Amino acid sequence: MFAVSAAAVLVCMVLVMLRAVLGPTAYDRVLALNNIGTKTVVLIAVLGFVNGRPDFLDLALAYALINFIGTIAVLKYIEYGDLGVSAPRETGTE
């Protein structure tokens, strides 16, 4: 039954990859990539159960971390053209 779930995740990845290729703006692509990362986390978890050896969950945890940081880094690069700058201080809270 886990193979069905893995197949669903793979179908989703193909659909979202389509959006990443088509996406008119860079933000569409970043959003699609972030989404593919989330699906990869789920896929790693499910594949562990397909093989009957759910030892890859630590990898899923690490992948979730890297996916988040990568998305933020790419967005920052798009917005400022540089990873070293810090955002200008605004009044109020973000």
Partner 1 sequence: MMGGIVNAVVWVLLISGGFFMVTGALGMVRLPDVFTRMHAAGMVDTMGAGLTLAGLCIYSLHDGAGLVAVRLVLVLAFLWFTSPIATHAVAKAALSGGTTPYTTHGDGEREGRDRP
Partner 2 sequence: MNRAPWLWAILFALWLVLSWHFTGLFLFFGVVTCSIAVFVVARMGVLDRESLPVHLAWRAVTYVPWLVWEIFKSNVRVARIILSPRIRVDPSIVHFQASQRTDLGRFIYANSITLTPGTVTTGIVGDDFEVHAIVQEEIDGSEENIMNRRVARLEGEAG
55 near partner 2, rule: CB under 8 A: no
Site string for partner 2, 4-43 (x = CB under 8 A): ----------------------------------------
Q: Which does 40 bind (CB under 5 to 8 A by kind): partner 2, partner 1, none?
A: none
The window from 11-19, 41-49, 72-80, 85-93 that contacts partner 2 (CB under 8 A) reads 85-93
Backbone angles phi, psi at 13, to 5 degrees: -65, -40
Residues in CB range of 87: below 8 A, 6 or more apart: 80
Q: What are the residue ranges of helices labelled H in the chain?
A: 2-22, 26-50, 57-80
